Amino acid sequence: MRLTGFAAPANEARALLDAAHIRHVSASGSDHVCNVLSLSAGVHRLYDEGLLTFSYAGGSVRLEPGTALILPTDERIWPDPEALAWHGAHVFRR
């Protein structure tokens, strides 16, 4: 995971990742894969508390202000840009 510098084989990393809703289910977000980010527990907590956010920039999803996330090869399941914008506008503490 580039965000934290942690690296592990895929079979081990899956056990350490959380599914973080981009737009909270309580705010009409869905459980669809495009409304979820795979984050470590600590980063998930920071995200839910609005202490960091992600947005599209130059064709990739980046942590504000610039660390790129690893996206799936299948673009159909990339994070929903509208959900990311919602999180930036309604949860992120600027």
Residue extents of the structural domains in the chain: 10-90
Mean pLDDT on 53-58: 85
pLDDT over 70, % of the chain: 89
Cβ-based neighbours of 26, under 8 Å, separated by 6 or more = none
* Token pair in block for residue 63: 């942590």
The 10s digit of each residue's pLDDT in 16-39 is: 889 999 999 999 999 999 999 988
For residue range 71-92, list pLDDT tens digits in order: 889 999 999 999 999 999 999 9
Choice between 61 and 45, residue whose per-residue pLDDT is larger: 45
Quote the mean pLDDT of the chain.
86
State residue 47's pLDDT score.
93
Lookup: tokens for 81: 């840009």
CB-based contact 46:3 (threshold 8 Å): no
Contact criterion met (CB below 8 Å) for 20 and 39: yes
- Residue where the block lists tokens 């979820």: 36
